[in-house]
Amino acid sequence: MAAPDYTILSDFLTILGVRHTDSYTNRSFRSMPFPTMFGLKKLLATYGVESVGLKLADSDMIDRLPTPFIAQTSRGMVIVTAVDADTVMYVTQSVEETATKGRFSAAMTGNVFVAFADDNACEPDYAVHRFTEIANIAKKWVLAALAVALLGYAIVSNGIYRHISTVLLTIIDIAGVYISTLLVMKSAHIKSRHADAVCSVVQAGGCDDILATPASKFFGIFGWSEVGLAYFGVSLGCLLMFPDHIDDLALCNLICLPFSFWSVWYQKFKAKSWCTLCLCVQSLLWLSFFCYLGGSWLRQAFHPGTGFFVLGACYVAVMLAINAIMPLIDRNNDYVNSR
Amino acid sequence: MSTQDKIKKLLAGLPGAVEMTPLELNDMRFSGRKTVITPAELKRIKNALTARK
């Protein structure tokens, strides 16, 4: 979801060919008490990389320096990877760029930072850190594999596959969980490339505009994104584990439908902005309705029993749990983040 | 060849260049901003520096 983590230190070590792990390297860089070149020099020394800062009398002399080296401009540091007669290739914020030598040297302050790495240069405890990094990647794959296996087991053992409407409902609920998760992440100010990509389909910045309105919260207490995640999450769980209660799910879906009219009305006439993710949620609600209708599940829904109320309690309990977690994950919550 | 020898050799090929002191290195701070310095940005920096002169 988030962009790959990087710092100038991890970029520099990669270009120097020094064995390192991004997680340890970036953590070390960010935990420097004083983020200066002197701190970077000390950090590089722990990797077995010696370095020196030089003040050049003439910035045009950069072609005489061994690459890579770090060059200072008034807007920040860049890593120069190659210099020839006319061009300078450099890396800025992990992005490779090429500029004419004249333009590059004119923008420099004249301060450069040159490193000398030998073949033995390596991150301290590299093997342990690398193992941890691989284990962390493996954890995500194991989680994904187990989720798919459990989903497959539930579909087969509970006979979800026997009716097209239940198969479609499973897919819709999974899509609902995904879209609601993106909305929750946006509400918690967690940057997500996927959320931004979906949001820009109808109107760039529309999701942020809508989520910033007071109407994005139910009585200012629960975000609608949290309600959506609870709704689709519990619906999916119930459908997979207790498919006998599909009539209760159908009734809950029916009760939620008027919300979609209000949401679209609000976006069009009040906020005058379109939130693509919110529209996706409304569409999924209606698609679910047509599946319940097509599968004739609504016919049995109008005589709710205890199961319906237990299901309702599950929705509320999960929604409250998500609501309680939100302040802990909100990136704009300075009070919690400072602790 | 030791690092000091490498530095000496490097300085010999760079007339007028001097090694920065720890204090000067400490003045080179990382801002923490995630600004991508594109070639267009370099041009803006160059123009700003020229205007200042």
- Residue with token string 């009070």: A335
CA distance A334 to A189: 12
- Conformation bin of residue A54: beta by default, left when phi > 0, alpha when psi is -120 to 50: beta
Pair of tokens at residue A251: 């009734």
Mutate to test the interface with A, among B42, B43, B50 (most CBs of A within 10 A): B42
CA distance A302 to A121: 72
∠ CA A118-A122-B20, nearest 5°, is 60
∠ CA A210-A214-A220, nearest 5°, is 130
Per residue of chain A (339 residues), what is the pLDDT tens digit?
344 578 899 999 999 999 999 999 999 999 988 889 999 999 999 999 999 999 998 888 898 999 899 999 878 889 999 998 889 999 988 888 899 988 888 888 999 999 998 888 999 999 999 999 999 999 999 999 999 999 999 999 999 999 999 999 999 999 999 999 999 988 888 877 888 888 877 776 677 777 777 777 777 778 888 999 999 999 999 999 999 999 999 999 999 999 889 888 888 887 778 888 889 999 999 999 999 999 888 887 787 788 899 999 999 999 999 999 988 887 766 544 443
To the nearest whole angstrom, how far is the Cα of A314 from the nearest Cα of chain B?
Answer: 43
pTM, two decimal places:
0.64
Instruction: Identify the burial level of A96 via C-beta atoms within 10 angstroms of its C-beta, where 0-12 means exposed, 13-18 middle and 19 or more buried.
Output: exposed
Which ipTM was obtained for this model? 0.89
| Amino acid (1-letter code) at residue A152 | G
Nearest-Cα residue of chain A relative to residue B40? A99
Whether A305 contacts A242, CB under 8 Å: no
Facing residue for A73 by CB, picked from B15, B30, B45: B45
Q: Which residues of chain A make contact with B34, given a CB cutoff of 8 A? A: 93
pLDDT along chain B (53 residues), means of 10: 85 90 89 76 82 71
Residues of A contacting chain B (CB within 8 angstroms): 8, 34-38, 40-41, 50, 52-58, 61, 64-66, 72-78, 90, 92-93, 95, 97-100, 103-104, 106-107, 111, 113-114, 116
- In this prediction, residue A3 carries a pLDDT of 43
CA distance B13 to B11: 5
CA atoms within 13 A on the CB side of B47: 6
Cβ-Cβ contacts under 8 Å between A and B: the total is 120
Pair of tokens at residue A205: 């910045």
- In this prediction, residue B42 carries a pLDDT of 83
Mutate to test the interface with A, among B24, B37, B44 (most CBs of A within 10 A): B37
- In this prediction, residue B18 carries a pLDDT of 92
Nearest-Cα residue of chain B relative to residue A8? B30
Supply φ then ψ for residue A17, to 5 degrees: 80, 25
Facing residue for B46 by CB, picked from A8, A78, A103: A103
CA distance A199 to A277: 6
* 3-state SS assignment for residue A55: strand
